[in-house]
Amino acid sequence: MQKARIAVVGFGNVGSAAVAAIKESPDMEVAGIILRNPAKVPGVQKEVGDIPVVTDVKELGKVDVAVLGVASRAVPELAPKYLAMGINTVDSFDIHGEAVIKLRADLDKIARVHDAVAVISAGWDPGTDSMIRTVMEAIAPKGITYTNFGPGMSMGHTVAVKAIEGVEDAVSMTIPEGTGLHKRMVYVKIKEDYEFEKVAEAIKKDPYFLHDETYVYRVDDVESLIDVGHGVHMERKGVSGNTHNQRMEFIMSVTNPAATAQVMVSAARASLKQKPGCYTLPEIPPIDFIYGDKNILLFRLV
């Protein structure tokens, strides 16, 4: 069996977990790690041993899929570069709503032209949670689904805070209020010569936080606060046909980077089975994410 060659772009929490997930996949191999900052190459190379660490994917030879372990706001610019080379991409873009729809449309055009596949928003939310919401709505087409996150660290929100001017380090915690409402508890270490009040205001105005109740706290040590555990509790009450009061729920507690990375690696496998274009997870057959003979999988799963 020829293994799919997967390149991992970025080596933060998600990138390093993606490398581990690829190593555990019998149908894949790590083609290499791609870093945008050359200064980081020696340190990462020392950590990963024989795995090539480069700054340009062309140095890795044939690559089937690039797993983009980068901030969501970097995806719209970065993904097209790989798709234009005929390399499939997988990202964990987590800005919900219109941003996902626009990214899907933009990458779909590029992927089709270059005979490639992009799988977007392939984390656990959006991602596998999106698939669960789809299943719930298929069971009860009328009704309301509430998605409650946490308590736990949001990687997307944390990255967004760190990008705000004046922030030296930060962590953003999500606290569920119920019925899909959340508090954002943001802990920041401020750079010298910046006013905490102005930085806090900028955080609250960021699109990641604008629609939630957000509290910002100044701290001297962020590292001591970090716990990468997270979770979700989804509930739907709806109607099947004309039968009311259909209730269902889904609960998950995870180590955030590991769960996100594993979904992305599974999506990399699925990307190789799709026609050219851009896909979100609900658009892909669930069985395509799993390694193994389809008939054997169906015997076990159906």
The number of helix segments (H) and strand segments (E) in the chain equals 9, 14
Strands of the chain (E only): list them. Answer: 4-9, 28-34, 53-54, 65-68, 88-91, 117-119, 142-149, 152-153, 167-178, 181-190, 213-218, 229-240, 243-255, 277-279
Helix 256-271 × helix 13-23 angle, to 10°: 60
Q: Which segments are annotated as binding site?
A: 92-94, 122-126, 174, 184, 230, 256
* Angle in degrees, CA 267, 295, 260, rounded to 5: 20
Residue 65: strand pairing partners: 6, 88
Q: Which segments are annotated as binding site for NADP(+)?
A: 92-94, 122-126
Instruction: Give the closest residue to 261 by CA, choosing from 20, 9, 26.
Output: 20
Instruction: Give the closest residue to 18 by CA, choosing from 90, 86, 74.
Output: 90
DSSP string across 161-225: HHTSTTEEEEEEEEEEEETTEEEEEEEEEEPTT--HHHHHHHHHHSTTTTTSEEEEEE-S-SGGG
**CB-neighbour burial class of residue 186 (10 A; exposed 0-12, middle 13-18, buried 19+):** buried
Q: Which segments are annotated as binding site for substrate?
A: 174, 184, 230, 256
Q: What is the distance between the terminal CA atoms of the chain, rounded to a whole angstrom?
A: 26
- In our burial notation (b when 16+ CB lie closer than 10 A, e otherwise), range 31-60 reads bbbbbeeeeebeebbeebeebebbeebeeb
